[in-house]
Amino acid sequence: MDRVELGRVLRARRKAAGRTIASVAMDAGLSVPYIANLENGRGNPTMSALQQLAAALGTRLEIGLLGETEDTAEPGGQDAVRRLMESPRVLKVAQRLAGKSWGDVSLVKERLQDALLALGAVIGGELSERDLDRLLDLLLLSRSGLGDAD
């Protein structure tokens, strides 16, 4: 995740919790300008600051190393899911769902990625673009008022 994406996620989680920057800063023991800079994609947060922010926002910090080899890849194809998440259709559907009060686009994409990983674990194999399209269609069809699937 790059700095801009981190900022979007931090802001979305803070707003979803109905919190101000000042209240999060107080709980995290960080300054308001520091958090504002992070939310705007600036700054280089320390691991400690990220842990404090996660705790203040009632979530946990997960850190992973990318570039797994085939021998260590998880069932369900994490690499395949990452590739699928770059599909233009994913962004389009995430924007539609976010517009229907599902949260920030980055949070919708994060939830979609989690769903794809879970689906991959259930089928025990690598996911295809057809699997992704089926899941996107299901999400669109399950929400009344979203109209026809793309």
CA angle 18, 53, 84 (to 5 degrees): 85
Measured distance CA(98)–CA(85) in Å, rounded:
16
> What residue ranges do the domains of the chain occupy?
3-56, 78-142
Instruction: Tell me how far CA of residue 6 lies from CA of 24, 37, 43, in angstroms.
Output: 16, 11, 11
pLDDT digits (tens, 9 = 90+) for 116-144: 777 777 777 777 777 777 877 877 777 65
pLDDT digits (tens, 9 = 90+) for 7-26: 888 998 888 888 999 999 99
CATH class of 3-56: mainly alpha
CA angle 97, 64, 17 (to 5 degrees): 40
pLDDT higher for 42 or 149?
42
Q: 87: buried, middle or exposed (CB in 10 Å: 19+, 13-18, 0-12)? A: middle
The pLDDT value given to residue 123: 72
Which residues 6+ apart lie within 8 Å of 132 measured at CB? 84, 87, 89, 90, 116
The pLDDT value given to residue 66: 60
Quick check: 87 pLDDT over 90?
no
pLDDT digits (tens, 9 = 90+) for 41-69: 898 898 899 999 989 988 888 877 665 44
Measured distance CA(32)–CA(42) in Å, rounded:
13
The pLDDT value given to residue 112: 82
Q: Are 52 and 25 in contact (CB under 8 A)?
A: no
CA angle 127, 133, 135 (to 5 degrees): 80
pLDDT higher for 113 or 55?
55
Q: Are 113 and 81 in contact (CB under 8 A)?
A: yes
The pLDDT value given to residue 74: 47
Quick check: 102 pLDDT over 80?
no
